[in-house]
Copies of this chain bind each other. A is one copy, B any other.
Amino acid sequence: MKDKLLSPSIFIGVQGDGMISFGSGQPDLPPPERVFRILPKYRQFKYGLIPGQVNLRKALAKQYGGTADDFVITNGASEALDLTFRSICKPGDKILLHKPYYYSYLPMINFNNLEPVFTETIRGKIDISDFDNKVRGCKAVLINSPSNPTGRVQEVSTLKEIERLCSDLDITIISDEVYKDLIYVRENYMLKGPQVVTINSFSKTFAMCGLRIGYLYSNDRSIVDDVIEIKTHSSMNTNILGQEMAYEATKVPSAYVDNQVAIWKERRDVVYKGLMDLGLELWNPEGAFYVLPKVKDPRKMVWDLFKKHKVITYLGEWFGAPDRIRLSYALDVDKIEEGLSRIEKYLDS
């Protein structure tokens, strides 16, 4: 039944019954309490503005620079990315991805009738000379740092070189920065410039995955206008109540984020050391909450871990890394340790 391992969807919603899940990439700790504090008195019901509520966009402009008009609030980062493709591309356009990549990128490129081009990475880091070769002729590049699934953060010098190259070649940079607040090794460096579309969401930083509030930010008015025009017809405003909850999240003191990062870092250390101790080859995650160890026969391992050891992991091949498996460490340290001991049993058997 390993044929069933076609996509992560077979694991979505699987839980309970002693299952340890290193599968889904969502925080287990709840959002800041103030996000829920507005609910009891909420009574709005009418259409909101298509680009999103002004209070939320103003709060984002304070964080990012620019003005409220440079932002569009979307149904998660997913819709922000999809709308960006739909607004800037025509069928057949080429999009450069660095491998391994987030598993939604390829299907999204396919159903938008675009063509993927891949640049390989070295231990998860972009090789700028390969990038330079492959980027020519592309309509856009999609950068994801910190990366899901590698947990790696691109070097600032690489990011600046990408800015320069794409500016010279007039290529749009789509920068998926949904993990920008979860970096263990340095401050985030936000890709910038008129050719950059930044994608982010409240899902990872504020644990609001199910509420689906994402956004895009661009200084190019024509991109923003095209995105709004498409969204006017494809989904209209993003859920107005979710937006108010996200607005509350923008008021949370930065200590909240620092605390979250400390928790993620502790888990990262446990998972990284645990997998190293089991003799697996892997890169130390610098951000996000994933590891991508190299393993023998990944399909057998993912399937047997699931069926025989009640451990969910994801196949690396879904992310363009067929010799690896992905583990999300969005679960508490006790469960991580129990999961590691089950993986040890699998490896010993």
Contacts and interface: CB of A to CB of B under 8 A. Distances in A.
A49 interface: yes
Interface residues of A, number: 50
A26 B44 CA distance: 13
13 contacts: A12-B49, A12-B50, A24-B47, A39-B40, A45-B207, A45-B211, A48-B210, A75-B235, A75-B239, A76-B236, A82-B234, A235-B235, A239-B241
Contact of A39 (B30, B42, B108): B42
A296 to B, nearest CB: 29
B82 A9 contact: no
A50 B8 CA distance: 12
A79 interface: yes
Contacts of A82: 233-235
- The residue among A79, A104, A241 with the most chain B CB atoms within 10 A of its own CB is A241
Nearest to A111: B230
A78 to B, nearest CB: 5
A301 interface: no
Nearest to A212: B239
B45 A13 contact: no
Contacts of A108: 233-234
Given A75-B236, A91-B113, A113-B113, 7 more contacts: A26-B46, A47-B210, A75-B235, A75-B238, A75-B239, A212-B236, A212-B240
A31 interface: yes
Contacts of A113: 91, 113
Given A24-B47, A40-B39, A239 B242 contact: yes
Contacts of A79: 75, 234-235
A83 to B, nearest CB: 9
Contacts of A241: 210-211, 239, 241-242
